[in-house]
Amino acid sequence: MRLLQVASKIFGVILLINGAGVFDRTVHAAASNPTADPSGRTALRYAEAMAGGRVAAWADLDLGCLTNRLAKTAADASRDACWKDTLAIHVKLLADQPEKGIFGAQGRGVGFGLLHESHRKADLWRDYPPALFLSPSVWQHGGGLPPRIKFVKILPSRVTGLQIAGSPEPYSVRVTLVELSVTYPDPLTAPPALRPGEPWWASGTIRRYGPVRDLVVRVPVVSGLKAAGYPVDQAVLSAGLPETPTLLGTGGGGPSEIGRTSDRPGEQTGGQELAGGLLLGSVRWWDRASAGSQFATELRDIRGLSPSPDRLARMLRLLQLDETDRELNRLLGDDLYANLLKAGLARSGMSAGDDGTRRRLAEFYWTLQGATWRQELTEVAVGHSDVAESFYRAAQSLEIVAKSGRADLETVRRLGALQRWNNDSEAALENHEGALRRLDPKPSRWRATLLTEIAWDRLQWIFWTRRYEHPWLAQARQEAEQAQAMAEMPMDKLLAAEAVLVAEALAVPRQPARVQASLESVRQLHGRLQKVGGLWEYLIANDLVKAFVAESATVTLPTTARSSEVVDVRIHATPPPQDLLRTWEFDKDSSGAAPQGFSSAATAAGGNSRWTVQTDAEAPTSPHVLAHSAGCSTADCFDVLLAEATGFAYPDVTVHLRTIDSAAEGGAGIVMAASDRRLYYVVTLNESAGTLAIHRLAEGQATLLDRTSVQLTKRPWHLLRVQRINFAHVSKPRLSVFVDGREVAAVTDDAIPNLDRIGLATRGAVTVKFDRLHALNLVSNQPLSAPAAY
């Protein structure tokens, strides 16, 4: 580029020393009328041309476009090319900014993102160029109206240097900042920005954006350009186009530099202020009060539309004006709930001939997902997800409707289902039981529906807490049985019967005859359905019952796309080739003989223990029990009986025990995470003292991990249960201990190895009886990813 090289060398030195510029003492103070100063007139003409799309007028006042046209470095340096390139840059700046772990991160649409001064230190903050706030890229999106522009004031001018690409020295120019008020007149199409006080960091809540009502932008007008070879003496500097000159101290002005805040944290320097842009603290947002009758008119129009992406977008937009409106949240919640069901049905592969049945199938799919895997509901954590957005936004909207006190039964039912799928069983129960109390006590279809929902709420809680002895399990089975008897439609009966089957499968002790009877009931009800496909596999091969139904071994459920962070998802769809469930009741062993499938050993000499099968008509599963007599002579000696079966790396072990005689420090209980008699964990219960102890044994040396008092029920036999689980589904193993259905201890120990043998043990001198040793391998508790997918 060949521009005139006219500049005072002496003044140039001053400019280089004072990079931020110096005040021009000959320039008048701030003007109150734009016509009183050419800079004010230039700024207004530029702003009106940009906002109105008058390309020629804008191009003749934009310093970047003027420079590109003089340089002729671009293939097309015309006014139209400048305009097109500028708008493309603006569109990129206004696009959604994807953020991991943020609900609603991409829901705001085209807009400013962060504008409030409290968000200025955020990583996603951008120092927008002045022209962006006037650009048609802002207001034309969504069919909006052009902004109203009003002169505010002129700030004192400054003399500084203008650096032009290819020029060895900067040119002396005068810069005047002109403040203009920009008002976006339509609250339904105004560009959104994050409201004040909203979190900008990774957050588990939906962040609130709002349409911007007005703001003040500072437009830098550069004077003295003819001396540098330009055809005009005044133009507006707004970063964006390549070759756009820069003012000393303001940083780069090309597309790659836009949005960078080089002085963060802190305020702008004097040089950066010359670049113009948003006046911090000047932004005001639209709300329902300022929108007037437009809110009610838009809501009425939305109500008359059929569900569609356009209707959804308009509702989300209207929600930015008033997020608490009951009717708007009802419409939005219903549409999002329908979207969630549609996605669930598509992922499941199930089909039906009518909308009502399709809805129930999709709800059943999400019930199974909520009770087992849940990643499809929480996948928003690994990027934008329409399913997760629909899920969480629907729950938020329906909760607002429910809190209004005017929600119908269907709204409350749907809200409870969403809460259950979100693993908030207590909230789901509160809503579903509250809805049930609103009904007449006589049998009805609605009563059957709510009883089924309540049963699944309890089963969700039981499955995730693994409290299989909790009274809620029996209560869930009873409620599901009542619903099955009361329901009229085959699908309603089937979903209740499936809840009964799940409850029977989770019962401790399990009764195989009842499981089979429940399975047969499910099979018969399924056979009565018409035009329903793909359901049977989910009824028998879901994670809740597949280990107990032999037929499920040949069934593989569809596997949807998962997060790449998950190491192995097949473990949840296909049971590994091993015995997940083993029960030893000793009834097939001969009385007086040693139990088959076990080996015994003691950790110290001097013991004279015996493990023999005996007859006991009062045992929980008579006729036989396993008896242990004599034992070790010292309290630090453990006598163990290990099962030869392996494959229980994450076991849930239960056993009935009855102490006949025990020393003061004696006890009896369960062994797990064992390889042999040299390495294992043992949990022992001392009935006479009412204490429970947890030890780790390694090479014959016992380490006490926990000792606690236990309140025992008044009965001869007690139920001891020990689980090895992964805390929060990461590799942080923990032993959870239950006595007679109540959790009494939990020990986390990094040293717990992935050893897969279990067994029984006694400590010290004790005579005890054991019955029905039951072990379930918790396949779904194995570590899935790092970090966790949950």
CATH numbers and ranges of domains, the chain? 9-285 (no CATH), 324-572 (1.25.40.10), 581-781 (2.60.120.560)
Residue among 73, 65, 29 nearest 46 (CA): 65
% of the chain with per-residue pLDDT over 70: 78
744 neighbors 708 (Cβ within 8 angstroms): yes
Residue 262 has pLDDT above 70, yes or no: no
Cα separations in angstroms, 672 against 607, 627, 685: 22, 19, 15
Mean pLDDT calculated for residue range 351-360: 96
Question: What tokens appear for 144 in the block?
Answer: 């909006």
Place of tokens 């007139």: 41
Report CA torsion sign: 416, 417, 418, 420: positive
Q: CA 298, CA 331: separation in Å to the nearest integer?
A: 13
48-82 burial: b if 16+ Cβ within 10 Å, else e: bbbbeeebebbbbbbbbbbbbbbbeeeeebebebb
639 neighbors 759 (Cβ within 8 angstroms): no
Centre a 10 Å sphere on the Cβ of residue 42 and count the other Cβ atoms it contains: 23
pTM for this prediction:
0.68
> First and final CA of the chain: distance in angstroms?
59
The pLDDT value recorded for residue 756 is 79
Residue 22 has pLDDT above 50, yes or no: no
Compare 198 and 411 and report the one with higher pLDDT. Answer: 411
Residue 596 has pLDDT above 50, yes or no: yes
The pLDDT value recorded for residue 28 is 38
The dihedral formed by the CA atoms of 759, 782, 728 and 572, expressed in degrees to the nearest 10 = -130
Residue 222 has pLDDT above 60, yes or no: yes
Of the pLDDT bands very low, low, confident and very high (cuts 50, 70, 90), residue 533 is: very high
- Checking phi first, is residue 548 left (phi over 0); if not, alpha (psi -120 to 50) or beta? alpha
Residue 202 has pLDDT above 70, yes or no: no
Question: What tokens appear for 294 in the block?
Answer: 């437009």
The pLDDT value recorded for residue 494 is 97
- Write phi, then psi, for 206 (nearest 5 degrees): -75, 125
337 neighbors 399 (Cβ within 8 angstroms): no
Q: CA 119, CA 99: separation in Å to the nearest integer?
A: 16
Q: CA 629, CA 594: separation in Å to the nearest integer?
A: 12
Residue among 351, 314, 356, 355 nearest 188 (CA): 314
For the chain, what is the total number of helices (H) and then of strands (E)? 21, 27
% of the chain with per-residue pLDDT over 90: 52
Residue 565 has pLDDT above 90, yes or no: no
Mean pLDDT calculated for residue range 659-686: 84
pLDDT digits (tens, 9 = 90+) for 73-107: 555 668 999 999 999 999 988 886 655 544 454 44
Report CA torsion sign: 245, 247, 249, 251: negative
The pLDDT value recorded for residue 140 is 78
Residue 314 has pLDDT above 90, yes or no: yes
The pLDDT value recorded for residue 27 is 38
Of the pLDDT bands very low, low, confident and very high (cuts 50, 70, 90), residue 480 is: very high
Residue among 504, 525, 522, 524 nearest 514 (CA): 504
Compare 727 and 615 and report the one with higher pLDDT. Answer: 615
146 neighbors 139 (Cβ within 8 angstroms): yes
The pLDDT value recorded for residue 201 is 63
DSSP characters for 142-191?
A: TT-PPPEEEEEEEPPPEEEEEE-TT-SSPEEEEEEEEEEEEE---TTTSP
The pLDDT value recorded for residue 29 is 39
222 neighbors 39 (Cβ within 8 angstroms): no
Residue 472 has pLDDT above 90, yes or no: yes
Residue among 391, 463, 384, 375 nearest 788 (CA): 375
Compare 16 and 717 and report the one with higher pLDDT. Answer: 717
Lowest-confidence region among 47-61, 499-513, 551-565, 651-665: 551-565
- Checking phi first, is residue 517 left (phi over 0); if not, alpha (psi -120 to 50) or beta? alpha
Q: CA 115, CA 277: separation in Å to the nearest integer?
A: 11
pLDDT digits (tens, 9 = 90+) for 226-253: 999 999 999 999 988 888 898 886 554 4
pLDDT digits (tens, 9 = 90+) for 102-140: 445 444 567 888 899 888 887 778 889 999 999 999 887
Compare 257 and 746 and report the one with higher pLDDT. Answer: 746
| Cβ burial, residue 354 (10 Å; 0-12/13-18/19+) | exposed
Q: CA 338, CA 414: separation in Å to the nearest integer?
A: 10
Mean pLDDT across the chain, nearest whole number? 82
DSSP characters for 256-297?
A: GGTT--TT-SSPPPHHHHTT-EE-TT--EE--HHHHTTHHHH
Of the pLDDT bands very low, low, confident and very high (cuts 50, 70, 90), residue 388 is: confident
The pLDDT value recorded for residue 735 is 84
Residue 627 has pLDDT above 70, yes or no: yes
Of the pLDDT bands very low, low, confident and very high (cuts 50, 70, 90), residue 535 is: very high
Q: CA 244, CA 254: separation in Å to the nearest integer?
A: 7
Close Cβ partners of 770 (under 8 Å, ≥ 6 residues apart)? 625, 626, 627, 628, 655, 656, 657, 668, 760
The pLDDT value recorded for residue 208 is 83
- According to the per-residue pLDDT averaged within each range, which of 57-66, 117-126, 203-212, 697-706 is highest? 57-66
